[in-house]
């Protein structure tokens, strides 16, 4: 059984990646789909003012918003999937999850920034490509 990890951040680019995988579903019999949403860690000093429970709820609420359209698309396609929410650096979290869970392929969208914007802002997709030990399919 092939495990496919789809990185979702609520962007149109991520939704394109989900739709790409949906288009492949007829050829992916028994594929195991996993959606991952990575929430950025809040600054350490926030925990002085906000409880750990409230921070966890905040991350879950934000992730739910970012996962919603991807889940709706997969539900409409009749696809079965698991959802995972992780807190940390996106590229590191995605690749770590893939390695720890025996993922065969990572699929993710990219904004396709080039030039100075791409260099200055960096790219989760680019970082994931560099860190990953499993194949990464980037949908633009």
What is the third-level CATH fold of 3-111?
Answer: Rossmann fold (3.40.50)
Average pLDDT of the residues in 131-138: 97
Structure token digits, residue 41:
């860690």
Q: What digits encode the pLDDT tens for the residues 50-99?
A: 999 999 999 999 999 999 999 999 999 999 999 999 999 999 999 999 99
pTM attached to this predicted model = 0.92
Q: What is d(CA 59, CA 41) in angstroms, rounded to the nearest whole number?
A: 9
Structure tokens at 90: 């996106």
d(CA 139, CA 137): 6
For the chain, the farthest-separated pair of C-alpha atoms sits apart, in whole angstroms, at: 50
Confidence band of 117 (pLDDT split at 50, 70, 90): low
Q: Who wins on pLDDT, 135 or 121?
A: 135
User: Quick one: average pLDDT of 89-114?
Assistant: 92
Mean pLDDT of the chain: 92
């Amino acid at each position: 059984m092939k495990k496919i990890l789809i990185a979702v951040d609520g962007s149109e680019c991520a939704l394109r990646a989900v739709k790409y995988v949906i288009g492949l579903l007829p050829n992916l019999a028994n594929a195991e789909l996993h959606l991952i949403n990575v929430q950025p860690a809040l600054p350490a000093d926030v925990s002085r003012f906000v409880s750990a429970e409230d921070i966890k709820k905040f991350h879950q609420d934000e992730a739910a918003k970012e996962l919603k359209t991807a889940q709706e698309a997969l539900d409409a396609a009749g696809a079965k999937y698991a959802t995972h929410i992780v807190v940390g650096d996106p590229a590191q979290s995605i690749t770590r999850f893939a390695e720890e869970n025996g993922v065969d392929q990572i699929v993710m969208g990219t904004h396709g920034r080039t030039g100075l914007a791409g260099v200055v802002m960096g790219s989760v997709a680019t970082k994931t490509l560099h860190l990953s030990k499993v194949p990464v399919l980037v949908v633009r």
